[in-house]
Structure 1
Amino acid sequence: MCRLASLLALPVFSVWLGHEVKAEGFLATQSLTLRALYSRATRQPDGTLQLELQGAVELLYGGRSLRTERLQVDTAQARVRGETPFELIAPEGHLRGQRLEYFYEQRRGRFSQVEAILYPLAGSEGRVSDSGAGRHSSRYLSPTTHPPPLRLWAQEMAGDLQQFEAQRVRATVCERDPPDFTVEAERVRLLGGERLRLFNARLRWKGRTLLRLPTLTLRLRERRETLELPTPTYSPDTGLGARYQWELPLGERALLALHGAFYGHAVPETRLALAVALTGDMPTLMEPELSQRLEASTLYNLRITPDRERTALHERTTTLRIEHASNIRPLLGREAHLRVSRPFEIALSTGFALGEGAGGLTLRVGKMREHTPTQRRLALEAEWLQPLMHRPFELNLHLWASHVRYESNQRLDWLRPQIEISYQPSERFRLMLGYAFAQTTGSTPFVVDRPVARNELALRGEGQWGNLRLGALLKYDLNRQQLYDVQLLLGWRQHCIEPFLYWRREPSVLLMGVSLTGLP
């Protein structure tokens, strides 16, 4: 090791140069490590230090590793430049390309002719890695512990693997080479490591264009992604229709969402929401009513997976939401004829964690009506999921609670604890059993705020046999001794996509759609 401290001494840095270079700022919390077979240092006229590294070059900083054959380093601007093939490895994934200009302290840069691999979000199962530049925790899983990640090719990219904008892009979750299914776009934006927004998108199957869309959003959660397209629905009350969901990012922390449905024999639904993240990268959008969020839990809705439910709780950000909704029909609610309107509502929601447990708290103020006059309404709602045991089976305690006050001086308190047991003998089969009871005090003028207080058992089973995926959910009322809910899910996985059918007996619902699973 050659030490040239007298030549390279800087007011803020102490630098050791040779086969390994370490620059550690006295005022910073991160350290820079550079490794190379050959290196040369040059003092610029303005006094800054320029390093030229060649041969097996590696840069380590902030849990990220950059590898290439030739690199120019500007320590004053914390910037590196390279014209040779490179690989950037980060907790979110890794990036390969031909040219780069990278600001390692800001974790952003400009890259050309790139191939990116984005790891799935891990939720509560964050991994700990040691890259040589210090240990760090991550909310991402490597491909060895999760379904295959998203692969993306782009001509130009600006940003980082957590948030970027790219030009002339091709993306897929297929492991096959060449992939059967791809999405191509002229421009792509990744926001908060979660939403991939594509402009002028083309969906291609085995080289053939199936559909062209002006904009498209892919969600990078749980089973990698869900394609947001109008979903056909049918019920005897509304006839054939379709549900839609469009989201427009406004900057880096705001989101404008338009949700709703149109039917052949019923009034359409509309929900318009503006959400701003006060913490985190992206706002958290969820069902406004606590009863609807209960309906979106694992032992109430067969389409929700345990991984997705845990991820949603652990990744919840502090969000301010303003909403207008008219004639909303809770699709999976108990009352098939119920329509809910909220002329105006403002809500503040936040997530929190304690040990292995995670939950959320929401304060909502606004106006609401059903088939009754409009009333002002204030609600405080909480949800908590606490793991109790992991082996030989999983045992969790899941709590829901709410306190609601109305303009008519009525008030309602609701508490629902649930014990969940999950057993997974193999990767392709899972059983869940749950017991829950609810306590309600007070009264409410709204049906949507009136959860049924019942003692109930729930049994959920799902498995995969070859390309076929089957799931069933049964719910039994212990007091009435009645099987009051049956749900079935049928899916056929073909490499990268899965057409599926979902049926619920009461209320009668049939959903048809296509999901991108990324599973072989």
Structure 2
Amino acid sequence: MILLLLLLLPAPALSAPGRTRATIPGDVPVVVEANHLLRKGEGTLVASGAVLVTRGNDTLRAHQAWYDPRSGELRAEGGETEARVMARVDEGEGPLAIEAGQVTRLGSGRLRASGAVHLTRGQDTLQAHEAEYDPASGEVQAWGGESRARVTARLAGETPLTVEAGRVTRVAAGVVRAFEGVVVTSDEETLRAEQAEYDPQGGELTATGAVTLEAPQGRVQGERVVYNLRTRVIAGGEVAAAVPAPDPEADVTYHLRGQSIRGAWKGEPGSGLPQEIVLERGRFTTCESPRPHFSVDAREIVLRPGQRVVGKGVGVSLFGTRLLTLPRIAVDLSGEKDAPGLFPRLSLGQPDTVGLRSDWRGTLPLGGAASGYAVLSARHLFRIGAGIDRFGSVPFGLRAGYKEEASSRFVSGLTLTVLPAFTFYLPAAWSPDGPLQVGLERMPPSARLYSGDIEGERWAPGRRYRLIASGCAGRFSEHPTEVTANRLSFSGALEVRPFGVLPRVQVGGALRGRVGYYSTGTRYGVVSPELSLYWEPSRRDRLRLDWRHQIARGTTPFFFDRIDAERSLVLEWRNRTPRRALALKAELDADNGGLYAWEIGYSRRLECLQPGIVLSQRGGDFGIGFTLEIPGLSTGF
């Protein structure tokens, strides 16, 4: 029935002294009580002064009223004293209270109200310039009037919302339809459209015509959008969505446009899970330009903000030119520095002269994951690294490369040729009870693990200590020393999770070790205790100090295996804003004094891209590299 909630009016009272009362017979008698009553010659009854009209359970209060017994029309007005007409209609859905400057009851039983109309039913309210109520169908229609006043409806219930429009209709089933510049607000969400329909039974809001849905979690635009306010599931056709990254410091917005969209707009309340949006035959980018600098066009795109975006039937474009066509692509959005990037990285320097590097990671059909990297170099041709995590708790990798860089302070331009070498890791994890929690943090295969010693990445929740280890077996050739030998190596580390000692200050430590066995009959081992100090004076600044003491025993035929300095101090400072990044790093030889390695990086966002430059030197090798960071999709130095 009606959607408008009205003020309940008191039951009719008996005539007071000095009052006049008249009863008009009919199917339902009409009782009129007022200070003055006048019956005109044609039978019209005129009442004035605190008028009270009662018809069954319906009541009306006004300053003046006119009743025509021939047509059955009753008209009431508030009068010049600004008194209001108060009507109470008791129908199937519950009492409906009407307050207005003028109320007319037509012979058909329809009620018409005008002049600052206020309708109330239960906790629902409606305000309009004009309104009409049909008791037979329970339909309410409200208009804003020629003064361009707006109709405002406030709907209580499981999901309270406010509807503002030029015209609003409520049918008996409780469905509300709004027309002409519709604005619907609920919680922190606002929807604008030409037309909208709300079904309180299912909590579904359907909007058409230049629809815009805005909320803290993003914006959706389209010609038709269906949004369930209870389940927070959204669907629509020919839509565009803009979703900000979870981290406001990133200053990144994910833009999607396609034939249809569906997904959980807010995720499960209280679950902490990110929302998921599925786009059919659409485009994904973080560049708002009509012609984005880069984009991913796909048959299907699944976005989990802050985690990943997955595309099926993908075309990757840069500056409007398609670079790649792939059956599937998954891009990490977590902001991890070593996560695979979307586009290759350009490098220029001593090892490669000019080169392109690309990292990738993908899931396998029957579980597990594969990862790797490839470098196309003008100087050293081609080199690759690959890994597979398919066998449950024992990650396993295969590595092969031609003239890989092996920076050393002893020999300039040192590189390696690696014939297939197998890399393996300890089983997943064990974590006994008690204060000393020792366990292996699962280490996904990555190019960084293949090319250097084992290093810990993200910590598992609640873990204070961890043991990580790996091994590698293969044939290595070193250039320009031209030394070739079979090499079996094992690496391991016991790490202490960084813990706070002062506000914004953390301390961590590790005991690392590695040993190599060579076909020349020699072996070489290194034990290295390390101490790390972290200080974050602000959210954008991070300073790190690492003290390392390397103790080496034995001999090795390779220069790349030898330690750079027995005792060293590493100082690093990073400053990153949403549109700029700066990094400085220096390695000092504590025994001999002096600086033997340094690195400087700088990048700045230009429209939708953030190019950067990295200068570095280690021993006799000097390098210059260029990075192209895509904010929100890839990282720089």
TM-score if structure 1 supplies the norm length? 0.59
Q: Tell me which amino acid in the other structure corresponds to 1:202.
A: S
**8 A Cα contact 1:95 1:114, kept in partner:** no
CA distance 1:390–1:117, change in 2 (3 Å): farther
> What is the deviation of 1:515?
0.3
The question of 1:170 aligning with 2:283 is answered yes
Q: Quick check: 1:102–1:110 contact (8 Å CA) kept in 2? A: no
Residue of structure 1 aligned with 2:402, choices 327, 336, 342: 327
| Correspondence for 2:422 | 345
Look up the match of 1:229. 343
Provide the C-alpha distance between the structure 2 equivalents of 1:262 and 1:152, rounded to a whole number of angstroms.
32
- Aligned residue number for residue 318 of structure 2: 203
Q: 1:264 aligns with which of 378, 383, 400?
A: 378
Is 1:370 aligned to 2:477, yes or no?
yes
- 8 Å CA contact 2:386–2:399 kept in 1: the answer is yes
Structure 1 pair 445–115 and aligned structure 2 pair: CA distance change class (3 A): farther
Letter of the structure 2 residue corresponding to residue 419 of structure 1: S
Which region of structure 1 is more displaced relative to structure 2, 491-500 or 318-327?
Answer: 318-327
Alignment-derived partner of residue 406 in structure 1: 517
Quick one: distance in 1 between partners of 2:477 and 2:243? Answer: 44
CA distance in 1: counterparts of 2:278 and 2:406, whole angstroms? 35
1:482 aligned residue: 594
CA shift in 2, pair 1:188/1:476, >3 Å: farther
- RCO higher in 1 or 2 (8 Å CA, sep ≥ 6)? 1
Q: Is the 8 A contact 1:432 1:460 kept in 2?
A: yes
Structure 1 residue 509 and structure 2 residue 623: aligned?
yes
8 Å Cα contact 1:87-1:95 kept in structure 2: yes
Give the whole-Å Cα distance in 2 for the aligned partners of 1:331 and 1:264: 17
Partner of 2:259: 155
Q: Where do residues 73-222 of structure 1 align in structure 2 (5 Å cutoff)?
A: 98-99=225-226, 142-144=246-248, 146-156=250-260, 166-173=279-286, 181=293, 183-190=295-302, 194-198=307-311, 199-204=314-319, 209=320, 211-215=322-326, 218-222=331-335
**Which letter does structure 1 place at the counterpart of 2:348?**
Y
1:322-347 Cα offsets, whole Å, 9 max, x none, are 31312251365656323041514142
The Cα shift of 1:112 comes to 5.4
Indicate the SS of the match to 2:405.
Answer: coil
Check whether the contact 2:159–2:230 (CA below 8 A) recurs between aligned residues. Answer: no
Larger radius of gyration, structure 1 or 2? 2
TM-aligned CA deviation for residue 396 of structure 1: 2.4
Counterparts of 1:412-431 in structure 2, within 5 Å, are 412-424=525-537, 426-431=538-543
Greater Cα shift, 251-260 or 158-167: 158-167
Aligned-partner SS, 2:592: coil
**Hey, what's the Cα distance between the residues in 2 that align with 1:196 and 1:253?**
19
Q: Is the 8 A contact 1:246 1:257 kept in 2?
A: yes
User: Residue 397 of structure 2 aligns to which amino acid in structure 1?
Assistant: I
Structure 1 residues 102, 35: closer, same or farther in 2, change over 3 A?
A: closer
The count of corresponding residues between Structure 1 and Structure 2 is: 391
Any conservation in 2 of the 1:36–1:54 contact (CA below 8 Å)? no
1:353-373: CA deviation from partner (whole Å, max 9, x where unpaired): 364747562433533423455
- Counterpart of 2:402 in structure 1: which amino acid? N
d(CA) in 2 for partners of 1:489 and 1:383? 31
The Cα offsets for residues 24-63 of structure 1, whole Å up to 9 and x where unpaired, read as: xxxxxxxxxx93579xxxxxxxxxxxxx9978999xxxxx
Please give the residue correspondences for 1:233-382 in structure 2 after superposition, counting only pairs within 5 Å: 233-236=347-350, 238-251=352-365, 253-276=367-390, 278=392, 320-327=395-402, 329-330=404-405, 336-348=413-425, 350-351=441-442, 353=460, 355=462, 357=464, 361-371=468-478, 373=484, 375=486, 377=488, 379-382=490-493
1:478 to partner: Cα distance: 1.0
The alpha carbon displacement at 1:182 in A equals 5.1
Match of 2:585 among 473, 480, 484: 473
Distance in 2 separating the partners of 1:271 and 1:464: 30
Distance in 2 of aligned mates of 1:149 and 1:440: 50
Say if 1:418 and 1:437, in contact at 8 Å, map to a contact too: no
Unaligned runs of 5+ in 2: 1-122, 124-156, 162-172, 177-183, 187-196, 265-273, 427-440, 443-458
Structure 2 match to 1:63? none
2:400 counterpart letter in structure 1:
A
CA contact (8 A) 1:36 1:53 kept: no
Deviations 1:148-186 (A, max 9, x none): 353434434577767776333333335x68796552413
Amino acid at match of 2:254: L
Tell whether the 8 Å contact from 2:406 to 2:560 is kept in structure 1 after alignment. no
Counterpart in the other structure of 2:158: 35
Which sections of structure 1, spanning at least 5 residues, go unmatched?
Answer: 1-18, 20-33, 39-51, 59-67, 74-79, 121-141, 279-317
Output the CA distance in 1 between the equivalents of 2:159 and 2:249: 32
1:483 counterpart letter in structure 2: L
Query: Is 1:492 the equivalent of 2:601?
Result: no
Task: Return the alpha-carbon distance in structure 2 between the equivalents of residues 364 and 515 of structure 1.
Answer: 33
Query: Aligned-pair distance for 1:482?
Result: 1.4
Return the letter of the residue paired with 1:320: P
Q: Which amino acid aligns with 1:379?
A: F
* Secondary structure at 1:229 match in 2: coil
- 1:81 and 1:360 map into 2 onto residues whose CA distance is 52
Q: Percent identity at matched positions? A: 15
- Structure 2 partner of 1:308: none
1:482 is aligned with what amino acid? G
Please give the per-residue CA displacement for 1:47-96, whole angstroms capped at 9, x wherever unaligned.
Answer: xxxxx9978999xxxxxxxxx954887xxxxxx98866998999xx6796
| Cα contact 1:271–1:328 (8 A) shared by 2 | no
The answer (yes or no) to whether the contact 1:471–1:490 under 8 Å persists in 2 is yes
For residue 501 of structure 1, report the CA deviation from its aligned partner: 0.8
TM-score by length of structure 2 reads 0.49
Over 3 Å counting, the alpha-carbon distance change for 1:364 and 1:491 in structure 2 is same
